[in-house]
Amino acid sequence: MTTAYSETNRAPGTERVPGRSWTVRLTGHGDRTATVTCSTAACRMPPRSKDLAALRSFAAQHAAAHAKAATLRPNAACHCRADHCAAHEDTKVHCTGAAVLILRHDPTIGRVWSVEEVCETCAPLIPHARTLARAPRPRPAATETPAPAATARAGVPGGFSSPSAPADGDPPRRRPNQGPRRPRRPGGGQAR
């Protein structure tokens, strides 16, 4: 049985931080030119151009560069949840699980690329999304006691162990096809 990663089974001292998102957009203009914009203001974009194929290629490479440069934070909250799960509004779920980094791009529209930190529950529900990285699940605190060592079984001559031989201190086991034992008569035969 798997348990969903949630607020209650987080490692102590790890607070959720807002999930990040980078959006690269190709925008067309009335004069048959286009521009590429990025949600990160520090990014330098090419000038407005009529070469749509070059701009589309640049936008895809720029989104891939953001995905490669981003370090997935294991304590990131679901960015999809911040948008009220609008990317998969037909299917409502509770945002749970470890953080994953996805790249979203609808090839039929081809104008927007998004790199987002979302939860592993929302990721498969978002259309046209590909998972790029998964955060490792935090391990629970080591409060469990170690399991007791297995008892050794009696050895059989030749160096093999017998799975049916009783361990030291165990009562001898009976074969299931044997009937009840009858007391022996003093004359050597069994009582009838």
Q: Which tokens belong to 47?
A: 């000038």
Q: How much is the pLDDT for 161?
A: 43
Q: How far apart are alpha carbons 85 and 117 in whole angstroms?
A: 13
pLDDT tens digits for range 103-138: 999 888 889 999 999 999 899 999 999 999 998 765
**pTM (whole model) above 0.75:** no
Q: What is the DSSP string of 37-103?
A: EESSTT---PPPBS-HHHHHHHHHHHHHHHHHHPPPPTTBPPHHHHTTTGGGTTS-----S-EEEEE
Mean pLDDT of 151-157: 48
Mean pLDDT of 34-61: 95
pLDDT tens digits for range 85-105: 877 878 878 888 889 999 999
Place 82 in a pLDDT band, splitting at 50, 70 and 90. confident
Place 144 in a pLDDT band, splitting at 50, 70 and 90. low
The owner of tokens 């059989």 is 156
The owner of tokens 């009937």 is 179
133-153 as b/e, with b when 16 or more CB fall inside 10 Å? Answer: eebeeeeeeeeeeeeeeeeee
Angle at 22 between CA 32 and CA 126, to 5 degrees: 95
Mean pLDDT of 49-60: 95
Q: Phi and psi for 177 in degrees, rounded to 5?
A: -90, 0
* Residue pair 96/6 in contact by the 8 Å Cβ criterion: yes
- One-letter amino acid at 112 equals V
